[in-house]
C-alpha cells in the first residue's frame, strides 16, 4: 500500500510539535525521499513511521512498542533508555504514572487483544502508563496510527491528529497551538480519572 508522503509528513510534524519540537513538514517529505536531514527528530520520526508502514497489517506487540521507541528516540536518549521500559518514577502533568516495576505488566495487559480496542482508547491507556522515560507521546500516537490503519482506515483520516481529536474542523494557528496541546493533555487526564472511577 502506498501512503501520501505529505499526509504522513503532516502527522509526524504535528506529533513532534505537540511535544514542543517545531519542524517543517517538507523536511519529512525530503527524509522519506532519501534526502537525508540532520535533524534527529525528523530522521527518527520517519524511521519510526517506516516501522509502522512495514508492519501495519499485523497486530502490534510489546516488542513492536520497544522497537518503535528505539526508532523514535535513537541518539535522543541514553542507549540504556532507548527501546527500554523506564526504571525510574516520572511525573507527568502533576500525575505520577505507575511504579516502574509494574510497567511491563501494564503494557502486556494493554497489548492483550489490542486489535479489539479503539485506537484512541489504546493511545490514552498507553499515555497513562507512560512506559518510557521520554518519547511516550510520539510512540503513543504511532500506536494509535498503527491500530487506525490495522482497522482498515485510510491514512488521510489520521493526518490531522490533534485537529481531528479535538474536533476543530480546521488546523490550529501557531498562537492557539499551546492551548490546544493543553486541552489534549487534559483529555488524557480525564480519560484516566474516568477509568479509575474518580470522574463520572
Q: Which CATH number belongs to the domain containing residue 151 in this structure?
A: 1.10.3290.10
| Annotated catalytic residue 130 | yes
Burial label for 189, CB within 10 Å (0-12, 13-18, 19+), is: middle
Number of domains in the chain: 1
- The single residue of 41, 69, 123, 130 carrying the catalytic annotation is 130
**Alpha-carbon radius of gyration of the chain:** 16
User: How far are the Cα atoms of 72, 73, 121, 127, 130 from residue 81, in angstroms, in the given order?
Assistant: 12, 9, 26, 17, 13
Q: Are 85 and 107 in contact (CB under 8 A)?
A: yes
Nearest Cα residue to 72 out of 50, 91, 87, 88: 50
Residue 30, pLDDT > 80, answer yes
Higher pLDDT, 191 or 88: 88
Q: What is the rounded distance in angstroms from the CA atom of residue 197 to the CA atom of residue 83?
A: 32
Cell 525521499 locates to: 33
Express the helix, strand and coil content of the chain in percent, nearest 5 each.
Answer: 60, 0, 35
pLDDT band, residue 191 (cuts 50/70/90): confident
Q: How confident is the model at residue 158 (pLDDT cuts 50, 70, 90)?
A: confident
Q: In which domain, by residue range, is 46 found?
A: 5-196
Lowest mean pLDDT among 67-81, 117-131, 174-188: 174-188
pTM of the model: 0.89
Give the pLDDT confidence of 43-63 residue by residue, as tens digits.
Answer: 999 999 999 999 999 999 999
Q: Which of 43-47, 117-121, 142-146 has the lowest mean pLDDT?
A: 117-121
Amino acid at each position: 500500500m502506498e501512503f501520501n508522503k505529505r499526509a504522513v509528513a503532516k502527522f509526524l510534524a504535528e506529533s513532534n510539535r505537540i511535544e514542543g519540537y517545531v519542524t517543517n513538514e517538507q523536511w519529512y517529505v525530503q527524509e522519506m525521499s532519501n534526502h537525508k536531514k540532520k535533524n534527529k527528530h525528523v530522521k527518527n520520526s520517519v524511521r519510526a513511521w517506516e516501522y509502522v508502514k512495514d508492519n501495519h497489517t499485523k497486530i502490534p506487540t510489546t516488542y513492536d512498542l520497544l522497537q518503535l521507541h528505539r526508532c523514535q528516540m535513537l541518539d535522543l536518549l541514553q542507549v540504556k533508555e532507548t527501546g527500554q521500559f523506564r526504571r525510574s518514577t516520572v511525573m507527568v502533568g502533576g500525575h505520577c504514572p505507575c511504579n516502574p516495576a509494574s510497567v511491563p505488566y501494564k503494557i502486556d495487559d494493554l497489548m492483550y487483544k489490542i486489535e479489539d480496542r479503539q485506537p484512541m482508547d489504546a493511545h490514552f491507556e498507553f499515555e497513562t502508563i507512560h512506559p518510557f522515560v521520554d518519547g511516550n507521546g510520539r510512540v503513543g500516537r504511532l500506536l494509535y496510527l498503527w491500530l487506525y490503519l490495522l482497522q482498515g482506515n485510510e491514512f488521510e483520516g489520521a493526518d490531522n491528529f490533534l485537529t481531528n481529536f479535538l474536533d476543530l474542523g480546521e488546523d490550529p494557528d501557531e498562537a492557539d497551538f499551546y492551548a490546544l496541546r493543553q486541552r489534549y493533555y487534559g483529555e488524557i487526564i480525564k480519560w484516566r480519572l474516568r477509568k479509575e472511577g474518580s470522574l463520572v
